[in-house]
A and B are shown apart, each in its own frame.
Chain A
Amino acid sequence: MTMSTDIAVRVSEAETIAQDVKRFRFVTLDGSPLPEFSGGAHTVVTMHDGDRVRRNPYSLMGSPSDGSSYQISVLRTVDSRGGSAFMHDKVKTGSELMISRPVNLFPVDRRGRKHLLIAGGIGITPFMSMMLQLTREERPFELHYANRTAGRAAYVSHLQSAYGHRVHTYFDDKQQMLPLARLLDGQPLGTHLYVCGPSGMIDWVLKSAREAGWPDENVHSERFQAPPSGKPFTVTLARSKKTIEVAEYQSVLEAVEAAGVDAPYLCRGGACGQCETAVLSCEGTLKHNDHYLPDDEKASGKKIMICVSRIDGTNVVLDL
């Protein structure tokens, strides 16, 4: 959806802070303050790459109460569909971008008596603002931060100087293993657990927490899921009366937007449910990649989350 509430910003800093990780600072073009937000929120950055429009969600890293600028960190992904490569290669100090207002799909549960944060790699970013908020609100927390190597680990020295003994780091190349079983055992009653990182790590933490008897309400996760690629196919938009191509490295949502049709979205990662779309017919099989639809609705073949899911087949007719 072309959001009328999007904000025009200029990049005031762009800095490499770890291997393949760049930090960007945004300020508004007109100098007006940016909206305050809550820890764990993200913004969707709109990039104009020639005649292609890309939109990627990135966690806001700065202080939630500081409206003078926003900060994000971008990992250049190996199988980049173009968004992270564009941010790394084309976006410089002085570049202008459009960003959405903050959206929070990974908030702190303020009832928690303690907050146990588990980050893997670039999954540190939502915790940066979360920890600032937790500190300001004087709530107990500890961070456990795993990385493949020290060179790839962003913000480690900053975190250690800011939060001291509350920060614990683990490096794969030093055979340091995040002691998950021990962490899950013996936490005070009322502790909330938050995990963000690679999909496999999130699955491991969620499964272990459930097996250790943690209530689902106390366990929170956020995935950075890029839309998976796949074979091209066509989409017929029944209401707009258009048939469009979805390319190998394109999501249905991106193809719809490129065709000039507004579709609702928030997370662009298959989590929030905003882009749920009715499937009218499908020549092929729906490939559900989201974490939103329950299994029975996935099996029904009547709904698709167009930000991440696609089809294995020739054509799908959507109620758009």
Chain B
Amino acid sequence: MGLMFKNETYRGDFTFSNSPEAIRRFPFPFHEDKYMYTVNIEPHVPGPKGSAYEFPIDIDEHYLSDMADRALVLRDDPLRCQGLPHMITAEWDLVELLMTSMARDYPEHFSLTREGDNWHWINRPMGIDQKFIFGDIATLPYRPMEYITRQCQGDFNLLDQRDGDLWMDAGIVTSQADWSLDFDVGMSFKEWHAPVPMAHEIGVFDRALKFLLNMQQGRPVRRLNWTMTINPRLDTAPETYHKWGTDRATVTPENVGNKVHLRVELQGLWRLPRSNAIVFSIRAYLIKMDELVTVPKWGRRLHRVLKSLPDPIADYKGLTRYRPTTIEWLSKYDDGAPTSPGVWPE
């Protein structure tokens, strides 16, 4: 497979960048030249070879850098990882889901041997060799969810299902688009979605909740969400807003290409077997405008999407301050030619 892990930063000197291969596999989210909220849920089945959808859990060239950034976030703020006591079975379910997926799909990097409850996990890129007893928290150096998610890209939330609702009762959230697990932990589905504009009124959350409550084992689903981030920063949390909020005021016509990033979240949902909980994964992909416009269709389309985006959505996503500058910069890459349907490069 030839996955080469890069050593780059999401803070300070911001050395993060995408290789040409990573640009081609970027999960571009816009299938047409405009955007509106929809229940854009589809089966999480294997996608094209090499794409971000090829495997249930995508490991890419940024793996080690992502894990190093997560360790820094957790060092400074342990509350980014929380699990209410009744979610411990769901935490073990997550260990199984992630370890079996990673070992099956990336066997040169990860391996898992199971003999009953005696498990042996090897993570070669991170130099980890761990024997433990599945179900016995004393045999791992961290709680189960924290243990495995310190070794897997993406944020993870464990949703308990009861009383006809879903409850965000556990999670690890270190690469988020301005939301806080510490604030949301214990909330119901509509409570944690309350800040989203326009979508409640068109019934998106009623339909999404009904769909999720009846999710079945073995039939995971996924959806894409998106926003924009100034500088390639994975951790844009409310808790650290004082560190990154002012970045939005630094965008100039000269630096758009390097500073402004499209941020796409590949969100996966699985019904877990032992706990009957749902795991909700949020994997963030970043791409700077200079990289994005190397795919002409994406440059044209993002220009049109940003131009036609309703103001409340732009406000909610935090784009308002630098949207005009970015649209102006992207206009150089939009010759008015029609774009083909679908998300893939032409």
Contacts and interface: CB of A to CB of B under 8 A. Distances in A.
A210 interface: no
Interface in B210-230: 210, 213-214, 216-219
Given A36-B274, A38-B275, A107-B276, A272 B214 contact: yes
A18 interface: no
B219 A5 contact: yes
A110 B92 CA distance: 14
By secondary structure, the B interface counts as: loop
Contact of A36 (B87, B214, B219, B273): B273
A137 B89 contact: yes
A273 B214 CA distance: 8
B86 interface: yes
A101 B210 contact: no
B123 interface: no
A35 B214 contact: no
B218 A35 contact: yes
B273 A266 contact: no
Interface in B252-292: 273-276
B161 interface: yes
A266 B274 contact: no
Interface in B167-220: 210, 213-214, 216-219
A35 B273 contact: yes
B162 interface: yes
Interface string A96-111: 0000111110010111
Given A35-B218, A103-B216, A41 B162 contact: no
B163 interface: yes
Interface in B136-188: 160-163
Contacts of B213: 272-273
Contacts, number: 52
A110 B161 CA distance: 10
A274 B215 CA distance: 10
A37 interface: yes
A286 B113 CA distance: 56
Q: Is the interface of A mostly helix, strand, loop or mixed?
A: loop
B275 A5 contact: no
A266 B276 contact: no
Given A107-B162, A111-B86, A273-B210, A101 B276 contact: no
B274 A65 contact: yes
Contacts of A109: 86, 162
A101 B218 contact: yes
Interface string A107-139: 101110000000000000000000000000100
Interface string A1-23: 00101000000000000000000
Contacts of A272: 213-214
Nearest to A64: B274
A89 interface: no
A62 to B, nearest CB: 14
A41 B86 CA distance: 18
Contacts of A100: 216
Interface string A272-291: 11100000000000000000
B274 A101 contact: no
16 contacts: A5-B219, A35-B273, A41-B276, A64-B274, A65-B274, A100-B216, A101-B218, A104-B276, A107-B162, A107-B276, A109-B162, A110-B86, A110-B87, A110-B160, A216-B163, A273-B214
Which are the 4 A-B pairs with shortest beta-carbon distances? A110-B86, A38-B276, A5-B218, A36-B273
